[in-house]
Chain A
Amino acid sequence: EDQVTQSPEALRLQEGESSSLNCSYTVSGLRGLFWYRQDPGKGPEFLFTLYSAGEEKEKERLKATLTKKESFLHITAPKPEDSATYLCAVQGGNAGNMLTFGGGTRLMVKP
């Protein structure tokens, strides 16, 4: 059974204070690891897909990295508008087309 654990559950940062969110996973044959951003009252918004260990992707202040056991979402010099819940999900080789989600990290960036 695929499992995803995200940490911390909540993170408070000052504007400009860089940090990282963690997504640990166990999966049988990783097909893809996905990062989403979710604002209150809205649906998850796609950020990145990572397919293999060593892969990295960047978008503005966000950078996602992947190893064989975990993924990190690095946030460089965050701004208040980066405040949101960040979700990680995996698609395993035995899961068909289904995703397994972690519980999310709620990020709050104070000005």
Chain B
Amino acid sequence: IAGITQAPTSQILAAGRRMTLRCTQDMRHNAMYWYRQDLGLGLRLIHYSNTAGTTGKGEVPDGYSVSRANTDDFPLTLASAVPSQTSVYFCASRKQGAADTQYFGPGTRLTVL
């Protein structure tokens, strides 16, 4: 079934540890996105990539990094996790177009202690 997969489903992490959240899509979409969702704050964009080889900063990029080596994969790395990064993380993708729909993955629930 075509779509977006994310791994892990959930993770508990000690503060200061490095963590990479994985995202893979098989729809050959050009653009990919990482959001975090927090109660009362809604979905906020962390980083995005309009095409393989390029990335950009969203609304809340501090403490996160991304890479886009190919079309399908868009990993999100927390270099040194802090408790404020406890959240649910969603990856999304979109095919090229003026206002094409973004499709979301199932999410990763991350707890930083």
Q: Which residues of A contact B (CB under 8 A)?
A: 31-32, 34, 36, 41-46, 49, 51, 87, 89, 91, 96-99, 101-104
* Interface of chain B residues 69 through 105 with chain A (CB within 8 A): 90, 94, 98-99, 101-105
Listed from nearest, the 5 A-B pairs whose CB atoms lie closest are A32-B99, A43-B104, A31-B99, A101-B43, A44-B104
Shortest Cβ distance from B106 into A: residue: A43
Cα–Cα distance between A51 and B42 once the two chains are bound (Å)? 23
Cα–Cα distance between A32 and B102 once the two chains are bound (Å)? 11
Question: Which of chain A's residues have a CB closer than 8 A to the CB of B94?
Answer: 97
Q: With an 8 A cutoff between CB atoms, is B16 at the interface?
A: no
Q: Tell which of A49, A87, A96, A97 has the most Cβ of chain B within 10 Å.
A: A97
Complex contact A91–B99 (CB within 8 A): yes
Complex contact B58–A42 (CB within 8 A): no
Question: Which of chain A's residues have a CB closer than 8 A to the CB of B106?
Answer: 42-43
Tally chain B residues at the interface, Cβ within 8 Å: 24
Question: Which of chain A's residues have a CB closer than 8 A to the CB of B107?
Answer: 41-43
Question: Which of chain A's residues have a CB closer than 8 A to the CB of B21?
Answer: none
Question: Which of chain B's residues have a CB closer than 8 A to the CB of A101?
Answer: 42-44
Shortest Cβ distance from A92 into B: residue: B99
Q: With an 8 A cutoff between CB atoms, is B45 at the interface?
A: yes
Question: Which of chain B's residues have a CB closer than 8 A to the CB of A91?
Answer: 99
Q: Tell which of A36, A41, A43, A96 has the most Cβ of chain B within 10 Å.
A: A43
Cα–Cα distance between A35 and B14 once the two chains are bound (Å)? 36
Question: Which of chain B's residues have a CB closer than 8 A to the CB of A31?
Answer: 98-99
Cα–Cα distance between A32 and B99 once the two chains are bound (Å)? 6
Cα–Cα distance between A41 and B4 once the two chains are bound (Å)? 16
Question: Which of chain A's residues have a CB closer than 8 A to the CB of B31?
Answer: 97
